[in-house]
Structure 1
Amino acid sequence: MTMRQLGLSIYPDHSTFEADKAYLELGHKYGFSRIFMSMLEIKGSVEETKNKFQKIIDVGNELGYATVLDVAPRIFEQLGISYDDLKFFSDLHVAGIRLDEGFNGATEAMLSYNPYGLIVELNMSNNVDYLNNIISYQANTPFLYGCHNFYPQVGTGLPYDFFMECTERFRKFGIHTAAFVASQVGDQGPWNVNDGLPTLEMDRRLPIEVQAKHLFASGGIDDVIIGNAYASEAELAALARIDRYQVQFHIDFVDAVNDIEKTVALKPQHFRRGDMNSLVIRSTMPRVTYKDVPNAPHDNTEEFQRGDILVGNDDFGIYKNELQIVLEPHKEPRKNKIGSISPEELILLDFIKPWSKFRFID
């Protein structure tokens, strides 16, 4: 698997060079390294279009970004260029082009051998034998990438199960993948409807970092790209802070939480026991590490709810200081509730399998 990246989208047809440049500089500050750029319409002459796009692409290249340009067949016609020669895009200094619409398989395979070393990114948001067809024409797979669509209209994003079926087709061949999350403040996209630009419908209104955690936790996505522009600096910072390789839950501590419980939650590398159960996720090493540290009962009489975080108290014998995350409601006075997972992050519990690693942040 390749290293996971964060990306931004810019829309030069709907923005100014200065605003895009400032956004890319801000993204660079927070470790973003991919640009999705839309070229779905041509304004002015071919030369004017070329100059406008190349100018901002060069800024991105200087900042260490790789730019993939989203192109539709009609753009090739408007520009008077052919699929046999991608020199126009090489001259723009892009890393690759994304084919918004597919061809016959043989065309995509041939494009993957372009002499400029351009990545050919395929649309992942369809559950058909499209990719198998391309591969069967002996495509140059290191130069094939996959990227899901985004969906500007509320209610039209992909359902999770379908998203995973589409994604698995690409993972099977080890192809680099990407999908989109939505900024809650960005109002710029390719079209005049913009209800956020996520891939997954269920993620549309979630905090941006939870959307990204969700995509990474699925195990199918290498790169997470913000679909709409411009995300706020707070959103960029929130994305920069997440762990791209394991689920990281935000914990809201109860008032009575004590020092040992904070240590048990925040210090260890947690993993779920291999012999799982359906009641709780158990992280058992803390009870070994901190077996001699007292932990008086508190917040131990209520019914615990899904997403509550528990630590065994002094009455729990060998299980004192074991950490658990509640999956099913139950009562148990030998456990202290030390906090709970943010409600928006409850969807991430499904990704904690036997031996899955996870962490908490305060």
Structure 2
Amino acid sequence: MHRLGISIYPEHSTQEKDFAYMELAAKYGFTRIFTCLLSVDKEKDEIVKEFKTFMDKAHELGFIVSVDTNPQVFKHLGATPMDVSVFHEIGVDIIRLDGHFDDFQDALLTHNPYQIKIEFNGSSDASVDHLLRHGADKHNMTICHNFYPERYSGLGWNVFMNFNKKWTALGLPIAAFVTSNNTNTFGPWPVYKGLPTVELHRGKPIDLQVRHFLSCEVIDDILIGNAYATEEELKAMSEVDFTKTTIRIDTVDGLSDLEKQILFEMPHAGRSDASDYYIRSSLPRFACRGKSIPVRNHDDHMFHRGDVVIVNDNLKHYLGECEIILQDIENDGERNFVGRIPEDEMMILDQMELHPDHIFGFLK
């Protein structure tokens, strides 16, 4: 099950603004909050009081809350791996370890009597597999990637996926951050260029960031790293279809009603006997038997990566098959050009190509 989340940094804002943001996110079905104690410079008693009020409001609205910590934060709050009672007093649901203790103490944390989940840094080569082999409680462990305020410093996609291979092999849920494109957003540090996990997401529409994470099929929870996202962005995330990979298409003018139905109303899944040249959605063929898709001319003598075509009357046996082109093929008159995947969306097509037989859908 996927969950959407926001991030809130009380030390840089006001309770009124934070609570209003929580209420707005809850309205759109968000259920996780990330916050940070690494950047809080206050006395223990003040932190406990302020964050308990914060947690109470979050829980009232149905959120679970993760708090970013390290050994220095533990020391400041008087906590140890053997005693996390202060986090229980505050109401923390998840303790994220940005920096860890030693293997024994990290494993010990996962057995805390309050069942507070321990979240490990997914953007590091943490020895979580070693902890599991030596008695850590797998049911009380999660993974959450870092975010990166500095431009160009976010994870490369291949690095990100290599980390995820390790975490999925361990059977642990994974969270990662997308970034709002709102103006004047902030995080725990005085850097304001967005807070994505993956660098190629910086500046992209937020729903595209979410859909890209979904297309790689390993990310469970998706959190906005910076505050505050706009209501439009929260709404856009809430409207993403989490049941399958979705990809936008810019359609051409003059599509027939049947072609529109094939694209946007019929189910799509490529074939396991995949071609190098296109992702074949053969399912629409069965709904198109006995129907007609007249030939429509297309000026280009070749189809190119990202073009979307539908088989027409000139190849009657395959009439209605919808294909996303992966590499150049000849336009031999047997396929109608119906649209093209926008350039920003090509990163989703890259993921679809890795598992062409999986279910997908087109977005107008």
Aligned length: 359
- Work out whether 1:297 is the aligned partner of 2:295: yes
Say whether the 8 Å CA contact 1:127–1:165 is kept in structure 2.
no
Q: What displacement does 1:75 show?
A: 1.6
- Work out whether 1:350 is the aligned partner of 2:346: no
With over 3 angstroms needed to count, the CA separation of the structure-2 counterparts of 1:104 and 1:345, relative to structure 1, is: same
**Alpha-carbon distance in 1 for matches of 2:167, 2:212:** 18
- Work out whether 1:309 is the aligned partner of 2:311: no
Secondary structure of the 1:194 match is coil
- AA aligned to 1:358 is F
Secondary structure of the 1:68 match is strand
**Alpha-carbon distance in 2 for matches of 1:93, 1:268:** 46
Match of residue 165 from structure 2: 168
Q: What displacement does 1:159 show?
A: 1.0
Match of residue 324 from structure 1: 323
Q: What displacement does 1:214 show?
A: 1.5
Residue deviations 1:128-185 (CA, integer Å, cap 9, x gap): 5x11221122001110111010000011111111111211221111111101111111
Say whether the 8 Å CA contact 1:197–1:227 is kept in structure 2.
yes
Say whether the 8 Å CA contact 1:42–1:75 is kept in structure 2.
no
Which has the larger displacement, 79-88 or 294-303? 294-303
Match of residue 71 from structure 2: 73
**Alpha-carbon distance in 2 for matches of 1:354, 1:252:** 21
Secondary structure of the 2:176 match is strand
Q: What displacement does 1:305 show?
A: 2.4
Say whether the 8 Å CA contact 1:70–1:98 is kept in structure 2.
yes
Residue deviations 1:176-226 (CA, integer Å, cap 9, x gap): 110111111161101001211111111112111111111222222111111
Secondary structure of the 2:101 match is coil
Which has the larger displacement, 155-164 or 38-47? 38-47
Alignment gaps of 5+ in structure 2: none
**Alpha-carbon distance in 2 for matches of 1:76, 1:131:** 20
Aligned positions of 1:88-237 closer than 5 A? 88-127=86-125, 130-185=127-182, 187-237=185-235
Q: Identity, % of aligned pairs?
A: 36
**Alpha-carbon distance in 1 for matches of 2:297, 2:207:** 30
- Work out whether 1:52 is the aligned partner of 2:50: yes
Say whether the 8 Å CA contact 2:39–2:189 is kept in structure 1.
no
**Alpha-carbon distance in 1 for matches of 2:313, 2:48:** 70
Match of residue 14 from structure 2: 16
Runs of at least 4 residues off by over 3 Å? 41-44
Secondary structure of the 1:321 match is coil
Which has the larger displacement, 41-50 or 248-257? 41-50
Give the TM-score, by structure 2 length: 0.95
Q: What displacement does 1:299 show?
A: 4.3
Match of residue 245 from structure 1: 243
**Alpha-carbon distance in 1 for matches of 2:141, 2:268:** 36
**Alpha-carbon distance in 2 for matches of 1:83, 1:43:** 22
**Alpha-carbon distance in 1 for matches of 2:78, 2:186:** 28
